[in-house]
């Protein structure tokens, strides 16, 4: 059998500052703990302790933890894939910042801009690199600093209550056992939804890219057609999960653990119900961290490993949906 890739280690990091739903209501009086919990399952989220901390800074401890848990050192990593919608700078990408902060040799650093599907897109690239023998060990990081980019006024309440800061990382390498590892990754997109979940400005199509009017009109903040995104997510996540399971030759009863993207607890419960996956097999962290976008799935992997919930031999399903629209799923035999 051809070589497979496998996730050899996982790590995560979240900032220490906790913002509860009640804390948010002091800034956004028209929301409430009851509304947020009932509609999303979120109780609290973490945010950076002070100005000046970027996505690459959160990525450093997560990456170190993943590399250590893989039994490797920084010098064993051949390439970085950095997934984020909140890069430290407009350019260059956060991957090179991480490479430098970790003191790594001059390995390639690729940034992936696929929002909530960023981890699954990154896994697809890393899996192909490993199977083709291009690289031996690929570090994937999903890291986000959302808290500096949210409209914390009544106008932005539908989006701003959802997001939190955090980072998750995995090391992907050749599977030591051909029966185990990444069985497949399926990724999809449809730009029909591009304007239903986006941050519009600054934008290269405008001269200048940013103006005071754009700021005053709130066009610098994320905008979301929540109901439409909810509908798409609950349709596309089960669809792509079924495709991934079929391609992997497993059925839903074989799935021991379901680690979905964390956009809304209700979306995940709905998806699990449609797939017939019992609730106790779903991994949640949205209640504690909110939506950490590209970081949600690797944080879920890292926490599940730490808790002893994810064990060798298990068949694990990942699925996610987000801006773009983009979505994907993967089946991994641990």
Interface ranges with ligand ACO (CB under 6 A) = 31, 35, 39-40, 115-116, 157-158, 161, 197, 226-227, 229-230, 233, 263-264, 267, 291, 293, 322-323
Q: Which residues does the annotation mark as catalytic?
A: 116, 261, 291
Provide, rounded to whole angstroms, the least separation between the CB of residue 293 and ligand ACO. Answer: 5
* Placement of tokens 């391609």 in the chain: 247
Residue number with CB closer to ligand ACO (27 or 74): 27
* DSSP output for 72-97: --GGG--EEEEE-SS-SSSSS-HHHH
Alpha-carbon gap, residue 68 to 322, rounded angstroms? 30
Which helix (H) or strand (E) segment is 215 a member of? helix 212-216
Q: Which residues, 6 or more positions from 188, have their beta carbon under 8 angstroms from its beta carbon?
A: 236, 240, 326, 327, 328
Closest approach, Cβ 41 to ligand ACO, in A, equals: 10
The residue among 301, 295, 303, 63 whose CA lies nearest residue 163 is 295
Closer to ligand ACO at the Cβ: 135 or 258?
Answer: 258
Are the C-beta atoms of residues 293 and 323 closer than 8 Å to each other?
no
CA distance 152 to 230: 22
Look up residue 20 and give its two tokens: 């509860």
Cβ 279 to ligand ACO, closest distance in Å? 18
Strands annotated E in 216-295: 223-224, 257-260
Report whether 284 contacts 262 (CB < 8 A). yes
Shortest Cβ 304–ligand ACO spacing (Å)? 21
Q: Residue 239 CB, nearest distance to ligand ACO (Å)?
A: 15
- Which one, 54 or 118, has the nearer CB to ligand ACO? 118
Smallest distance from the beta carbon of 64 to ligand ACO, in angstroms?
26
- In the DSSP assignment, the letter for residue 184 is E
Angle, in degrees to the nearest 10, between helices 296-306 and 118-132: 70
**Of the candidates 159, 201, 170, which has an alpha carbon nearest to the alpha carbon of residue 5?**
170
Residue with tokens 């800074």: 57
Helix (H) or strand (E) holding 12: strand 5-13
Structure tokens belonging to residue 181: 């590892």
């Amino acid at each position: 059998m051809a070589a497979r890739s496998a996730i050899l280690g996982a790590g995560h990091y979240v900032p220490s500052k906790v913002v509860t739903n009640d804390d948010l209501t002091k800034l956004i009086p028209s929301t409430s703990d009851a509304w947020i919990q009932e509609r999303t399952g979120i109780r609290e989220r973490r945010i950076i302790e002070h100005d000046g901390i970027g996505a690459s800074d959160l990525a450093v401890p997560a990456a170190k933890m993943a590399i250590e848990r893989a039994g490797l050192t920084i010098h064993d990593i051949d390439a970085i894939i950095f997934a984020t919608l909140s890069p430290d700078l407009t350019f260059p990408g956060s991957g090179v910042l991480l490479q430098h902060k970790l003191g790594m040799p001059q390995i390639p650093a690729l940034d992936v801009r696929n929002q909530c599907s960023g981890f699954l897109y990154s896994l697809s690239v890393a899996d192909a690199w490993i199977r083709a023998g291009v690289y031996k060990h690929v570090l994937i990081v999903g890291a986000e600093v959302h808290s500096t980019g949210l409209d914390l006024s009544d106008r932005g309440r539908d989006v701003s209550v959802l997001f939190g800061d955090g980072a998750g990382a995995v090391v992907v390498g050749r599977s030591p056992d051909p029966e185990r590892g990444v069985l497949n990754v399926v990724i999809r997109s449809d730009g029909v939804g591009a304007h239903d979940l986006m941050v519009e400005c600054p934008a290269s199509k405008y001269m200048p890219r940013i103006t005071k009017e754009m700021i005053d009109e709130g066009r610098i903040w994320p905008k979301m057609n929540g109901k439409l995104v909810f509908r798409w997510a609950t349709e596309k996540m089960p669809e792509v999960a079924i495709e991934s399971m079929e391609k992997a030759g497993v059925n839903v009863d074989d799935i021991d653990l379901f680690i979905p993207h964390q956009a809304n607890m209700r979306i995940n419960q709905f998806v699990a119900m449609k797939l017939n996956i019992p609730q106790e097999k779903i991994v949640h962290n949205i209640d504690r961290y909110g939506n950490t976008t590209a970081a949600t799935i690797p944080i879920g992997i890292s926490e599940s490993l730490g808790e002893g919930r994810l064990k060798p031999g298990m068949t694990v399903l990942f699925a996610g949906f987000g801006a773009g629209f983009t979505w994907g799923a993967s089946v991994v035999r641990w």
